[in-house]
Amino acid sequence: MEPDIASVAQAIGEPARAAMLLQLMDGAAHSARALATVAEIAPSTASSHLRRLCDAGLVEATDAGRRRLHRLAGPEVAQLVEALAALAPPRLPSRMQPSPPAGPLLRARACYGHLAGQLGIDLAVLLRKEGVVDDLAPGETSAVRTFDHPLLVTLGIAELPGPGPAVRACLDWSHGTAHLAGKLGTALLTALLERGWLRRRPDGRALRITEPGRRQLGELGID
């Protein structure tokens, strides 16, 4: 039987639900009220939209005490959203709209647990040029060739335990090229945040590069 892609497209194809999915691309769990604020709708309306996304298998909900939190159902959903964003015109909720040509979302943002935007692309280019990872087309996977690289050594990344691909090339919708996902992409974003080179912004998934981060990245060849 042919897959029913129309049902998934109908679940995504409503501006409020699309805005919620974009917010959930930060990899965190959010309440219905927080997602309603992002989508600029009432909390009561958000609940029905979230049920539709859950029924379509795009979002999962869990209870955390008195709160019900929502997150993307898995990395395959994040890949779908990122692929759609690469094809879509820049029509985002007003407070998430980047300021061309170099808004916060374009510079650095979380993409379901890994780093995207210009900084994510710059790190991918550096690690490809210096033989740490292969030159991959979006969606392709590979291993890490060596951990003996100044960036990985400085960030304390010496292994990548757990299941899943070590490296996956993820299409970056804002620049039309690939950044690094997979376990390496997650390890990079985690280390950059833990060392204070990046900070999460209060709203949305854009990330701020700190002054220590700029200095350290500059010493490693990232402008």
Q: Per-residue pLDDT tens for 136-188?
A: 888 899 999 999 999 999 999 999 988 889 999 998 887 778 899 999 999 99
Kindly state the percentage of the chain with pLDDT values over 70. 93
* pLDDT at residue 101, rounded to an integer: 40
For 5-95, CATH gives 1.10.10.10
Could you read off the pLDDT of 194-210 as tens digits, one per residue?
Answer: 999 999 988 778 899 99
Could you read off the pLDDT of 29-68 as tens digits, one per residue?
Answer: 999 999 999 899 998 889 999 999 999 999 999 998 888 9
Give the whole-angstrom CA distance, residue 206 versus residue 220.
Answer: 22
The residue assigned the tokens 């390496």 is 184
Contacts of 158 (CB under 8 A, 6+ apart): 147, 152
Q: Enumerate the CATH 1.10.10.10 domain ranges in the chain, comma separated.
A: 5-95
Phi, psi of 59 (to 5 degrees): -130, 145
The residue assigned the tokens 């919708």 is 173
| Token output for 152 | 């990985």
- pLDDT surpasses 60 at 95: no
Give the whole-angstrom CA distance, residue 179 versus residue 109.
Answer: 11
CB 196 within 8 A of CB 212: yes
3-state DSSP assignment of residue 24: helix
Q: Which helix (H) or strand (E) holds 180?
A: strand 177-181
| Token output for 51 | 């049920």
